[in-house]
Amino acid sequence: TPEAFPLLKFEAECLCSLRNFADKEFLVVPQPLAIQKLESFSILLMPWLNLSGTDQSLLGKGLAILHKNSAQYSEGKFGWGSDGFIGSNSQPAGWRSNWGECFVELRLFPQLVLAKSWGLEITSFVKNKAALVQFLNNHNPLPCLVHGDLWSGNAFVQFDGKGVLIDPATWWADREVDIAMSKMFGGYSIEFYKSYEEIWPLEKNIEQRIDVYNFYHLLNHANLFGGTYKEKSISSMQKIE
């Protein structure tokens, strides 16, 4: 639909940004060829990709290199300069020098506000905002350019073994948000994580933060699709509290 044009425009912007830091020996990020709003629909044209591979080793290495390369060129801030999307929900623009504040204020809380409409009780969670911000700041992450929506349906392997990333919701964030999302719906192999850590090892206590980072995506799914995602969001919030 024509209304999809802003979403496609954001996706094209994200793909171009990721391409700036991707190593083409390991990772393919398709180049947007054209974007057009027509009378009854909108299109984003990209090259044909032969997604016939299965070994995720280069995908893991490629993602780690992308994260590592971008961290060297960040301006020390977290966020994104323009309003974007996570699915079809909005992902607000804004910058913070403080990682915990960025994630909580620009990502998590807008989804919490939406969730109030279907009955999520967020009062006690909001009261613990400062503690959550401090918790996320404790490991002092570097700003990295992340894919932002890295479930297994948005990452593939080409016939030549190179990894492929599509449908990003990019921003400057803790790289762990990508790793967390990769675990949310499964689909990533042991080789993927092993290869990632060969390039840039993860902190040993990452599991402590995965639930917080994926709470954002559970809320987004609950706000978009309802169903069992509502119950999962409630359980996740209780676990974090």
Residues with a known catalytic role: 149
H/E stretch holding 132: helix 129-137
CA distance 189 to 80: 30
Rounded Cα distance, 172 and 164, in Å? 20
DSSP category for residue 20: T
| CA 112 vs CA 143, 161, 219, 234: distances in Å | 24, 39, 7, 11
Do the beta carbons of residue 37 and residue 144 sit within 8 Å?
no
Q: Is 49 left (phi over 0), alpha (psi -120 to 50) or beta?
A: beta
Give DSSP secondary structure letters for 95-127: EESSHHHIIIIIIIHHHHHHHGGGT---HHHHH
One-letter amino acid identity for 31? Answer: Q
What angle is formed at CA 224 by the lines to CA 102 and CA 241, rounded to 5 degrees?
A: 50
Residue 89 near residue 220 (C-beta atoms within 8 A): yes
Q: How far apart are CA 111 and CA 88, in angstroms?
A: 12
